[in-house]
Amino acid sequence: MSRLIVISNRVAVPAGARTPGGLAVGLYDALRDSGGTWLGWNGEIGEGPGDMPLSSVTRDNITYATFPLAQRDYDRFYRGFSNTVLWPAFHYRPDLLRYRRADYDGYLEVNRDFARRLAPVLRPDDVIWVHDYHLLPLGQYCRDLGVRNRIGFFLHIPFPAAPVFETIPPHRDLARAMCAYDVAGFQTHADAQAFSDYCATNLGAVAAPEGLRVNERVLRVDTYPIGIDVDEVAAMARKKGSRQLVALKSELARRKLIISVDRLDYSKGLLERFAAFEHLLEIEPDHGRDVSFVQLAPSSRADVQGYREIRRELDRAAGRINGKWGELGWAPLRYINRQYNRATLMPLLGASQVGLVTPLRDGMNLVAKEYVASQPQDDPGVLVLSRFAGAAHDMQDGALIVNPYDIEGMAHALNMALRMPLAERQERHQRLMRILRERDLAAWKNRFLGDLRAGG
């Protein structure tokens, strides 16, 4: 089997013999089976002007090739164009887009640097798999250096409709560069269709039996919804809880628990979620005596202005809700900005009666799937899920699907979830588990790599 080369913005070299859970496990297994390299930024910021040294370490048949970014590259590539242009636009928030040509130049330069680092280590039959919005033009820069290997690209976040994508000033150049890949994978059919429609309208692409034909190249555009390792999540949820979890359960006593886990981000709908919980307490005051809501939202990108603002707004909202509805010895809303490992999170998800996953826009949202997989079969909780999460396409038959802009609708869904009879909860959970097993992490990985290798 040909080697696999995975490229992503961030690479975490495992401290032990195995990487952490989630997506890293799927990529780890694919790399270990075929042998290969995982190339990317190590998360550190160097002091030099550029050309940071490449470090390599090999474990379990995988070579981790990582390098720091210079401060200037971090500011323009990561903090700049990636997170103040691509992230808001791809999450349908062009009002938050802040475009600077210098940032775009820095974005392109870092992508060129990735390609320059990659080209010398390639073998003729290597298969290359590029991940996410930080590296949209990487395939084109590889082609410019003479790379003829099969190169696939997978976008983990949404791809916006053409009128939104066109708010990015260099939208045409970005889309044209993406056509240098052999396979472009998206989370949902709507995302794949949006990209195809844009290319047809703006680049003259035409549909062909083997894919999308753009000039002389043919690009396969398809949907590959990412999944989870269901058995791993279920096993972690059954393990004895951490000290934090034991303390939380003791403090909550017999109260039902609503749980949400998100990165602190304006795309996650946290303010709307807080408002829905407050409305639930207004329309169903009985829940004020038997329900607690825990929102875990570790801070991210704290050096981007928009993220500092959303944190201040959430702090104010949490204080208002607890001040209005709290009692001596009990706060209805626990809003926590700490990061917890999966060994703590999975038992906490499993102990919660409602999983509240209501992003304003999300590529997939694996927390929704982890919540379902963590639930006990004999007494499962209920997933309340935004229709704008990619996971809703797979899970609408068992979750309560809501519009995160409808505060009253979310509150009523929460009430329905909290009062749902056991038999209905079990039936919904069984349906969702069948879907999770059919479209798990291995299925996502195998199908994408199968399509990528099939054209070689």
Catalytic positions, written as ranges: 156, 362
DSSP symbols for 85-114: IIHHHHTT-GGG----HHHHHHHHHHHHHH
Distances (CA, A) of 181 to 135, 151, 185, 234: 12, 5, 10, 36
8 Å CB contact between 106 and 83: no
- Which neighbouring-strand residues pair with 385? 357, 401
Residue with tokens 């909550």: 252
Residue 382, phi then psi, degrees to nearest 5 = -120, 135
> Rounded CA gap, 399 and 208, in Å?
37
Q: Strands 127-131, 4-10: parallel, antiparallel or unpaired by DSSP?
A: parallel
Q: Residue 63 carries which side chain, given as an amino acid letter? A: T
> Burial level of 265, CB count in 10 A (0-12/13-18/19+)?
buried
8 Å CB contact between 150 and 130: no
8 Å CB contact between 381 and 371: yes
> Burial level of 77, CB count in 10 A (0-12/13-18/19+)?
buried
Give all strands of the β-sheet with 211-214 in edge-to-edge order.
55-59, 62-70, 36-46, 4-10, 127-131, 150-154, 183-186, 217-223, 211-214, 206-208
> Rounded CA gap, 359 and 362, in Å?
6
> Rounded CA gap, 52 and 34, in Å?
29
